[in-house]
Structures are given as structure tokens and as C-alpha cells.
């Protein structure tokens, strides 16, 4: 497709994210329906061109578990990314409409995400960096695919600089400033699976007593998962040690942004949440006995706090729950057409 903005007729708004908005569009010359993501990027023309170049890698990503890419172009002051339209939307929207998702379906979601992550990493050395229910999409053929992976380092930087993203799916090691690895995505998958199976974000309710975590929805989008380096204000020996050894200008820039955030009334709650993720035990698929043992065990391994102990997506493809899900008779097409 030779994509130009004039050829794309906007049909419907699909959603708003932190980085921009997504619209259902028709490519008029071909009649092809697409999802157009519009990302506002406050960056120099040279950086924007670099982002566009980096996005071209997506042309080479071909997997049943990855959203297809049709092209990207600049449309001042935005970057538009055109991708496969998924008519049942994202899993967050689905569970918010129909309630907790059946564990057999959640098993298939886990399988699809692991296949997608393994493909991205094995074939392209790409780490996703933003696994969460709103980046897992579903269509009426019953396919489950992931989108919004971190192909462009420059795009990651540009979006991070506007301080967007969700912090709540972030792994303990990321909060403490460690580099992103495929295992950070596994943590985010674990949190997402609990959210789908329970029909609510896992850091809430029972955690609310020790800190003010009950209204997490309000906290989303305040800290960036992409931003390398440690997040500010989290006490803890490992973080302190890190901060001492990191002295670049970039880090200082980050620091000042972090501090200015503390002016807001929510800051302490955000920091409390991040602190909670680092210091308290990980959430689990509860109550005990409600879900299959294999599912509980799978989620427990995703949420091992030490990344050295946590398996990779490829390791997890051999987990018994995933084997089971592969062979399960659940009809995803029927499921996707039941709501």
C-alpha cells in the first residue's frame, strides 16, 4: 500500500491512548479497512524521519500472533501508523463489557502472547515493552494478536519524553532501573492474565489497606514503562546504589521531571504503587481452588520477582498450562462472536 492521509477516510474512533488516538479508516483506492494510529510527536524533523525508518521493520513482521502493518507516514505534527483492524477490539474493552474472561480463553490469550513475543524476539530481536490488555486485540475469526511493540528506539524515546505510558504493568526490576529484557514482558503478561481472569486490575482491593491503591485507574498513564533508568523516589537499597552510579545528563533530565511530578496530589500514590510492586509479594490468581493448578502455577512463574528466576516467553511455551491450552477444545471464534 502506498499510504497517503488524503486516501484514508475516517470511519470511527476506536480509542484514545496516552500517545494519541486510533481510528478505523477505509483506504479509499483499495477499499481496505485499517486501524490508523495517530501519534503526536514533538521532535525534530530528523528524528521523525528516523522514527519512520525504524518503523519499516514492521513490514518484515509476519506472524499469526502479531498485528499486520500496512505502512506509516508523517502528517505534521503527527506520525500515522496504519495496521490491521481488529473488529473485536482490545481485551481490556472486552472484559470491561462482558466481565471476567473464562480461564480457558485466558489460556489461549497466554499462548498467543507467548507465541507473538517469541516470534518478535527470536526473529527480530524485538522486546515488546508494553504488554497489557489494551495491546492484545481480538477479531471475529477468533484470532488473538499483540500490537504496539517497541520497534523504534526513537519512538520509544520521544513518547517517553512526553511522560506517558502506564506504570502499572511494569516489572520490579524495571522500576528499579534495570534494562528491559524479554522477562519484563513476561511479568506484564502475568499481571494482564490475572486482570482478565478476575475481571479487575490485580493491584487493588486487598492491597488497599496498606496503601492507597484502590483507585489505580486514576494513576494510569503517569509514568513511562519505556523510560530507561530508575523511577524517582522509590526507596530501596538497590535503587540507591544504581542512582549513585548513573550520572549522565539524560538521567538528570529525568530526575527533574520526576520531582516536578511530586507536586501533584497523586504522586505519592503512584510511588506507593511502584514501591508496593518492588517490596511486596506479587499478586496471584486467587482465591485458591477457583482456577486450575496449572494456571495458578503459570501465573506464579510469570510473577517471580527475581528476573533471573523468571522464565522467558520461549521457556513458557513448554509450560503444562500452555500445552493444555493448545489442545483445549475452546472455540475462540464462537467466543468472540458471543458478545
Binding flag, residue 136, ligand ADP (CB under 6 A): no
Separation of alpha carbons 62 and 202, rounded Å: 32
- Considering only residues 56 to 115 of the shown chain, the ones binding ligand ADP according to CB under 6 A are 67, 83-86, 89-90, 93
User: Which grid cell sits at 244?
Assistant: 549513585
Binding flag, residue 84, Mg ion (CB under 5 A): no
Write down the least CB distance from residue 145 to ligand ADP, Å: 8
Separation of alpha carbons 227 and 222, rounded Å: 12
Q: Does 242 show up as a binding residue in the annotation?
A: no
Separation of alpha carbons 17 and 165, rounded Å: 8
DSSP letters, 52-67, are HHHHGGGGG---TTB-
Most distant CA pair in the chain, distance: 59
Segment lying near ligand ADP (by CB under 6 A), choices 41-49, 121-129, 134-142, 252-260: 134-142
Q: Beta partners for 27?
A: 8, 32
Segment lying near ligand ADP (by CB under 6 A), choices 15-23, 192-200, 272-280, 329-337: 15-23
Segment lying near Mg ion (by CB under 5 A), choices 127-135, 220-228, 279-287, 294-302: 127-135
Binding flag, residue 158, ligand ADP (CB under 6 A): no
Closer CB to ligand ADP, residue 35 or residue 295?
A: 35
Among 135, 158, 188, 230, binds Mg ion (CB under 5 A): 135
Torsion angle in degrees (nearest 10) through CA of 323, 329, 333, 336? -80
- Nearest by Cα to 38 from 54, 53, 20: 20
Active site residues: 130
- Residues lying near ligand ADP in the complex (CB under 6 A) are found at 14-20, 22, 35, 67, 83-86, 89-90, 93, 134-135, 137, 147-148
Amino acid at each position: 500500500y502506498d499510504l497517503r492521509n488524503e486516501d484514508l477516510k475516517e470511519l470511527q474512533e476506536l480509542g484514545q491512548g496516552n500517545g494519541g488516538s486510533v481510528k478505523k479508516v477505509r483506504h479509499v483506492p483499495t477499499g481496505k479497512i485499517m486501524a490508523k494510529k495517530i501519534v503526536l510527536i514533538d521532535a525534530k524533523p530528523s528524528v521523525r524521519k528516523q522514527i519512520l525508518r525504524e518503523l519499516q521493520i514492521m513490514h518484515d513482521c509476519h506472524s499469526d500472533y502479531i498485528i499486520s502493518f500496512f505502512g506509516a507516514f508523517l502528517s505534521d505534527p503527527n506520525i500515522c501508523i496504519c495496521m490491521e483492524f481488529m473488529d473485536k477490539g482490545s481485551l481490556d474493552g472486552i472484559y470491561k463489557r462482558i466481565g471476567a474472561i473464562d480461564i480457558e480463553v485466558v489460556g489461549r490469550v497466554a499462548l498467543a502472547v507467548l507465541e507473538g513475543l517469541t516470534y518478535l524476539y527470536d526473529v527480530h530481536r524485538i522486546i515488546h515493552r508494553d504488554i497489557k490488555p489494551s495491546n492484545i486485540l481480538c477479531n471475529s475469526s477468533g484470532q488473538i494478536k499483540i500490537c504496539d511493540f517497541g520497534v523504534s528506539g526513537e519512538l520509544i524515546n520521544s513518547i517517553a519524553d512526553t511522560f506517558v505510558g502506564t506504570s502499572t504493568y511494569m516489572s520490579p526490576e524495571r522500576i528499579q532501573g534495570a534494562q528491559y529484557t524479554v522477562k519484563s514482558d513476561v511479568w506484564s503478561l502475568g499481571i494482564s492474565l490475572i486482570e482478565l481472569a478476575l475481571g479487575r486490575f490485580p493491584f487493588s482491593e486487598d492491597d488497599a489497606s496498606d496503601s492507597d491503591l484502590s483507585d489505580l485507574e486514576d494513576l494510569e498513564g503517569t509514568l513511562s514503562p519505556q523510560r530507561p533508568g530508575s523511577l524517582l523516589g522509590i526507596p530501596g537499597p538497590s535503587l540507591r546504589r544504581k542512582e549513585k552510579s548513573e550520572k549522565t545528563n539524560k538521567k538528570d533530565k529525568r530526575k527533574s521531571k520526576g520531582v516536578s511530578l511530586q507536586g501533584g496530589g497523586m504522586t505519592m500514590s503512584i510511588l506507593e504503587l511502584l514501591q508496593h510492586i518492588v517490596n511486596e509479594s506479587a499478586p496471584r490468581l486467587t482465591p485458591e481452588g477457583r482456577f486450575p493448578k496449572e494456571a495458578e502455577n503459570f501465573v506464579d512463574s510469570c510473577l517471580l520477582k527475581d528476573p533471573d528466576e523468571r522464565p522467558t516467553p520461549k521457556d513458557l511455551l513448554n509450560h503444562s498450562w500452555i500445552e493444555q491450552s493448545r489442545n483445549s477444545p475452546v472455540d475462540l471464534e464462537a467466543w468472540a462472536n458471543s458478545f
